[in-house]
């Protein structure tokens, strides 16, 4: 089991563009959470998907949206990119979204907005 | 809203010395607390959680609800402990997002 995988590894976009990041959860996991980690900061929760629905959302604007597919993989979309969106985007998966279920993290996608 | 504070950005200790990484949190309910670790060129991984009360790689952490702290301790630091450590909180009761501190970089000097 490769664990949580994310693609691409690195991405460079221009301000105003749109980007899609992808995540495949660990085998047996059905819940995917996305986090943004700016340089020198801890990961910040964006949203969580379970049963193909957004179950919880952090303090991020509507420019950030996502999707979960029937195979539990997930996408994070960011529209109208800003320079401040430059960060490492982490995907984490777990079995069920509840308390007591460990979240496993992927290696992240490094997004640079110029 | 919940908050996690890790007051030290960088902590340097000599090999064999005791280590204590501080974590304070603010949340009105009964959250679940975690320590995550990120070794060089590796992904973020769970080190330990307060409900399991176990010792992982010699590390322990005790939840002090009175002081709202969850400090990470190890009696004798090893060089392989050098890494970035993040304290995190999960509120529970229907909210399962992790709130992380800014992290402490532990450097163990040989």
Pairing state between β A19-24 and B99-100: unpaired
Chain A residue numbers touching B105 (CB-CB < 8 A): none
- Three-state SS at A83: helix
Q: Mean pLDDT across the stretch B74-89? A: 97
Contact at CB, A42 and B97, closer than 8 angstroms: no
Closest residue of B to A109, CA-based? Answer: B43
Give the span between the Cα atoms of A77 and A68, in whole angstroms. 12
pLDDT of B52 higher than 80 = no
Beta bridge partners of B60: B73
Q: Which residues contact B18 (CB under 8 A, 6 or more apart)?
A: B73, B74, B75, B76, B77
User: What integer is the mean pLDDT of B48-65?
Assistant: 86
Helices (H), B16-110: none
Alpha carbon separation from B98 to B5, B9, B11 (Å, rounded): 14, 20, 24
Q: Which residues of A touch B92 (CB under 8 A)?
A: 99
**Which residues sit opposite A112 in a β-bridge?**
A12
Instruction: Please check the confidence at residue A97 and state whether its pLDDT lies above 70.
Output: no
Mean pLDDT along residues A10-29? 97
Chain B hits for A58, Cβ within 8 Å: 97
Q: Answer whether B100 touches A (CB < 8 Å).
A: yes
* Mean pLDDT for all residues in chain A: 94
Our CA-based measurement puts residue B98 at a distance from the nearest CA of chain A, in whole angstroms, of 7
- pLDDT value, residue B50: 85
How far B67 CA sits from the closest chain A CA (Å)?
22
Helix (H, G, I), strand (E, B) or coil at B79: helix
pLDDT at B94: 79
């Amino acid at each position: 089991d490769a664990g949580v995988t994310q693609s691409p590894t690195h991405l460079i976009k221009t301000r105003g563009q749109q980007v899609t990041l992808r995540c495949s959860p660990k085998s047996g996991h059905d819940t995917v959470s996305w986090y943004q980690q700016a340089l020198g900061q801890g990961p910040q929760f964006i949203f969580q998907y379970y049963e193909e629905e957004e179950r919880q959302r952090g303090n991020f604007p509507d420019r950030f949206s996502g999707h979960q597919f029937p195979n539990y993989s997930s996408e994070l979309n960011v529209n109208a990119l800003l320079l401040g969106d430059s960060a490492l985007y982490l995907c984490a998966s777990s079995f069920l979204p509840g308390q007591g279920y460990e979240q496993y993290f992927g290696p992240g996608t490094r997004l640079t907005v110029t | 809203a919940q908050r996690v504070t890790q007051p030290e950005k960088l902590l340097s200790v000599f090999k064999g010395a005791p280590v204590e990484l501080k974590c304070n949190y603010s949340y009105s309910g009964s959250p679940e607390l975690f320590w995550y670790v990120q070794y060089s060129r590796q992904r973020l991984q769970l080190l330990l959680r307060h409900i399991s009360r176990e010792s992982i790689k010699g590390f322990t952490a005790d939840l002090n609800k009175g002081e709202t702290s969850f400090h990470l301790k190890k009696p004798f630091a090893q060089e392989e402990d050098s890494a970035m450590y993040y304290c995190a909180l999960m509120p529970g009761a229907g909210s399962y997002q992790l709130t992380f501190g800014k992290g402490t970089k532990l450097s163990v000097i040989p």
